[in-house]
């Protein structure tokens, strides 16, 4: 079993005024008795590119009889004479080298797969700081939302506002959209400077380019202070070719303890992670526990689950989410009053999102249904009941609750109009002649108003609404359907859009809807949904549906009617208003209230063009 106390780089407080660092690395099957030797090469970051100052090299000792073939060394940091900084406080970078006893290199250098800090590229790091104090967390009272209350904001940290601190400064802006879950695209170290993060070099350290461990802790703590949950996009099905457990075992020819052909391989040129291997299963379970404890993360969006799923009773994905769920039940912030855990475990299993929620301890999943239906309609297709039914995932076969292994908890799929994997939604309504460096056209933001009914649907339908950053002001980058230009090209948000006519109108609408979603139980991710199928509505480009919530405890019952107009003309549609009473429009409050005398009485309702109305019984 992996012990994080054994591996990584651990600075030791001074003994007789001298700092030391204990290094440890598991290399199963790579032993001294097989004529392998291992050294660690260390340099102070200030010496890294100084001519004449070479890295210090230290031999590692193989621990005979250790189950995972641990190599270790405790290195005293004796100060070198100037101009070297070695032995002084500061940040150090290191890497390992695997050799034969005669000095022939096998793997010339490789990073530490358990490093708690990284430097840029394939370098690991640690810091010697005599003044270091434990991070001052202030989130003890934080409780993640349950599935019914979640509103998600997907973020590429670098593209959003440079780094963790940039995102931290914008948290109040994000919260005002009704968001209470941040889903961060991968934040672990990657080879390229511009990269989406889906080929990780290592896993235990937030990328230095984004602000490293301290920057990430500041972000999570600040998010929790604002009642915002933090969800990590976790790439466990495959790695970068230079990931240590690929590089070392390719070079040595020894049996790989972690990688191999498993299920639904994403890359054909190199193997992904093999969950039939005990070391792989232990590595990622240990990682999940570490991220929850060290960084207070609240859950995981598991990337490309088909590459790690071998069935509901398999050794891959199902086992990992089950064990992670069981572990989370002992952590106070996840403990719901009903006894279930609030940890978020979201599967990207696009071939069968409903199935993965029904068969595993996943409480949510990505699925492209709403994105596909919305784009069909936006591209000129007529408004049909297919779009209305997509707003009711249970009607389409999605579960609303998962019961297995003595656990019962609520579940719901994500719903979104945009994600990092697709071009911007505004682009579906037309593009400009202006192109980016890849030749992709920018979307025509003059047609921003066409987005409005879809946004209202996103916030008022069932399922968990997810926004892709910049959606709220009609960000208009194009994304090629394939090729390296998808993930190796940076698309920073055009924050100037926030201030123009389109941006102001859409941000305002998102904020209103976010407030309504957060204050009305009837608009939650699960619960009652009734679609008023009426051909006269469809002919006018209108959809109408009812959401409601029964009285519960001190909460009163709620009844809401939603009308969406996807046409370019104002529409008057008739529909039965279920209970008698006064119905008030909640988006703008400018439409006259409707006074219903009898239950089910038919009344005409006005729906503005390319917009919608939300009536609430008062």
Q: Residue 548's domain is classified under what CATH number?
A: 2.60.40.1180
Classify residue 251 by its DSSP letter. H
User: Looking at the domain assignment, is residue 133 inside a domain?
Assistant: no
> Is the pLDDT assigned to residue 251 strictly greater than 90?
yes
Other Cβ atoms less than 10 A from the Cβ of 491: the count is 19
User: Looking at the domain assignment, is residue 134 inside a domain?
Assistant: no
Evaluate whether 235 touches 242 at the Cβ level (below 8 Å): no
User: Looking at the domain assignment, is residue 305 inside a domain?
Assistant: yes
Query: Are residues 29 and 93 part of one domain?
Result: yes
Q: pLDDT tier at 264 (50, 70, 90 boundaries)?
A: confident
User: Looking at the domain assignment, is residue 141 inside a domain?
Assistant: no
- Indicate which CATH number applies to the domain containing 412: 3.20.20.80
Other Cβ atoms less than 10 A from the Cβ of 262: the count is 23
Query: Are residues 411 and 291 part of one domain?
Result: yes
| Claim: this prediction has a pTM higher than 0.85 | yes
User: Looking at the domain assignment, is residue 554 inside a domain?
Assistant: yes
Strand pairing category for 611-617 and 581-585: antiparallel
Domain boundary at 521, 543, 572, which? 521
> Is the pLDDT assigned to residue 358 strictly greater than 80?
yes
Nearest 5°: phi and psi at 616?
-120, 135
**Surface-to-core class of residue 485, CB atoms within 10 Å of its CB (0-12 exposed, 13-18 middle, 19+ buried):** middle
Q: How far apart are CA 468 and CA 422, in angstroms?
A: 10
Query: Are residues 314 and 233 part of one domain?
Result: yes
Report the percentage of the chain scoring pLDDT > 70: 100
Q: pLDDT tier at 212 (50, 70, 90 boundaries)?
A: very high
Span 286-344, pLDDT tens digits: 999 999 999 999 999 999 999 999 999 999 999 999 999 999 999 999 999 999 999 99
Domain boundary at 459, 488, 521, which? 521
Range of the domain at 223: 149-521
Q: pLDDT tier at 200 (50, 70, 90 boundaries)?
A: very high
Mean pLDDT of the chain: 96
Tell me, rounded to whole angstroms, the distance of Cα 220 from its chain centroid. Answer: 13
Domain boundary at 128, 158, 174, which? 128
The domain total for the chain is: 3
Query: Are residues 275 and 395 part of one domain?
Result: yes
User: Looking at the domain assignment, is residue 557 inside a domain?
Assistant: yes
Task: Please give the pLDDT value at position 484.
Answer: 82
Q: pLDDT tier at 195 (50, 70, 90 boundaries)?
A: confident
Query: Are residues 160 and 105 part of one domain?
Result: no
Query: Are residues 13 and 78 part of one domain?
Result: yes
User: Looking at the domain assignment, is residue 440 inside a domain?
Assistant: yes
- Indicate which CATH number applies to the domain containing 67: 2.60.40.10
Query: Are residues 283 and 244 part of one domain?
Result: yes
> Is the pLDDT assigned to residue 115 strictly greater than 80?
yes
Query: Are residues 94 and 162 part of one domain?
Result: no
Query: Are residues 12 and 76 part of one domain?
Result: yes
Q: Which residues contact 497 (CB under 8 A, 6 or more apart)?
A: 445, 470, 473, 474, 475, 476, 503
Task: Please give the pLDDT value at position 147.
Answer: 97
Type and span of the H or E element at 90: strand 90-100
Strand pairing category for 152-155 and 181-184: parallel
> Is the pLDDT assigned to residue 134 strictly greater than 90?
yes
Query: Are residues 337 and 466 part of one domain?
Result: yes
Task: Please give the pLDDT value at position 435.
Answer: 94
Query: Are residues 277 and 423 part of one domain?
Result: yes
> Is the pLDDT assigned to residue 560 strictly greater than 90?
yes
Task: Please give the pLDDT value at position 15.
Answer: 76
Task: Please give the pLDDT value at position 35.
Answer: 97
**Surface-to-core class of residue 4, CB atoms within 10 Å of its CB (0-12 exposed, 13-18 middle, 19+ buried):** middle
User: Looking at the domain assignment, is residue 285 inside a domain?
Assistant: yes
Query: Are residues 460 and 342 part of one domain?
Result: yes
- Of 407, 366, 369, 368, the closest CA to residue 388 belongs to 369
């Amino acid at each position: 079993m992996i012990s994080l106390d054994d591996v990584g780089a651990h600075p030791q407080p001074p003994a007789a005024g001298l700092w030391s660092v204990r290094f440890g690395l598991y290399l199963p099957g790579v032993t001294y008795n097989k004529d392998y030797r291992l050294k660690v090469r260390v340099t102070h970051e200030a010496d890294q590119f100084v001519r004449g100052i070479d890295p210090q090299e230290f031999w590692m000792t193989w621990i005979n009889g250790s189950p995972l073939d641990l190599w270790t060394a405790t290195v005293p940091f004796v100060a070198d004479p100037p101009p070297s900084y070695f032995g002084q406080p500061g940040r150090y970078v290191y890497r390992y080298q695997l050799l034969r006893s005669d000095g022939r290199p096998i793997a010339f250098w490789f990073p530490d797969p358990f490093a708690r800090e990284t430097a840029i590229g394939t370098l690991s790091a640690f810091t010697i700081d005599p003044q270091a104090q434990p991070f001052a967390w202030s989130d003890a009272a934080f409780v993640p939302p349950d599935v019914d209350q979640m509103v998600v904001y997907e973020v590429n940290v670098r593209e959003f506002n440079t780094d963790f601190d940039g995102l931290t400064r914008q948290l109040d802006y994000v919260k005002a959209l009704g968001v209470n879950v941040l889903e961060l695209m991968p934040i672990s170290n990657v080879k390229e400077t511009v990269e989406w993060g889906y080929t990780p070099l290592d896993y235990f350290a937030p990328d230095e380019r984004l602000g490293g461990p301290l920057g990430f802790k500041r972000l999570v703590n600040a998010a929790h202070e604002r009642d915002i949950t933090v969800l990590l996009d976790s790439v466990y099905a495959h790695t970068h070719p230079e990931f240590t457990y690929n590089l070392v075992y390719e070079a040595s020819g020894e049996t790989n303890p972690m990688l191999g052909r498993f299920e639904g391989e994403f890359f054909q040129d190199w193997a992904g992670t093999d969950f039939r291997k005990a070391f792989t299963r232990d590595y990622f379970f240990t990682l999940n526990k570490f991220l929850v404890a060290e960084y207070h993360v609240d859950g995981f969006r598991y990337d490309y689950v088909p590459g790690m799923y071998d069935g509901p009773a398999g050794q891959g994905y199902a086992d990992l989410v089950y064990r992670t769920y069981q572990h989370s039940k002992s952590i106070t912030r996840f403990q719901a009053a009903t006894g279930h855990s609030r940890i978020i475990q979201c599967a990207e299993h696009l071939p069968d999102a409903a199935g993965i929620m029904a068969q595993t301890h996943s409480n949510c999943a990505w699925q492209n249904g709403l994105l596909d239906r919305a784009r069909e309609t936006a591209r000129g297709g007529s408004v049909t009941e297919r779009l209305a039914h997509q707003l009711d995932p249970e009607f389409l076969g999605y579960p609303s609750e998962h019961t297995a292994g003595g656990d019962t908890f609520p579940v719901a799929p994500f719903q979104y109009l945009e994600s990092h994997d697709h071009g911007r939604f505004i682009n579906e309504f037309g593009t400009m002649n202006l192109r980016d460096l890849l030749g992709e056209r920018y979307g025509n933001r003059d047609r921003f108003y066409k987005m409005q009914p879809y946004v209202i649907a996103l916030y008022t339908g069932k399922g968990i609404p997810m926004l892709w950053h910049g959606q709220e002001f009609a960000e208009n980058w194009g994304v090629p359907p394939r090729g390296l230009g998808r993930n190796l090209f940076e698309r920073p948000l055009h924050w100037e859009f926030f201030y123009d006519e389109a941006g102001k109108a859409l941000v305002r609408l998102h904020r209103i809807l976010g407030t309504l979603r957060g204050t009305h139980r009837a608009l939650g991710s699960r619960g009652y949904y009734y679609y008023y199928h009426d051909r006269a509505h469809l002919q006018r480009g209108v959809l109408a549906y009812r959401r409601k919530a029964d009285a519960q405890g001190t909460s009163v019952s709620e009844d809401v009617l939603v009308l969406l107009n996807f046409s370019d003309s104002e529409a008057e549609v008739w529909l039965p208003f279920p209970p008698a009473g006064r119905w008030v429009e909640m988006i703008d409050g400018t439409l006259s209230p409707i006074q219903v005398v009898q239950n089910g009485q038919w009344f005409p309702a006005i729906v503005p063009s390319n917009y919608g109305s939300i009536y609430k019984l008062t």
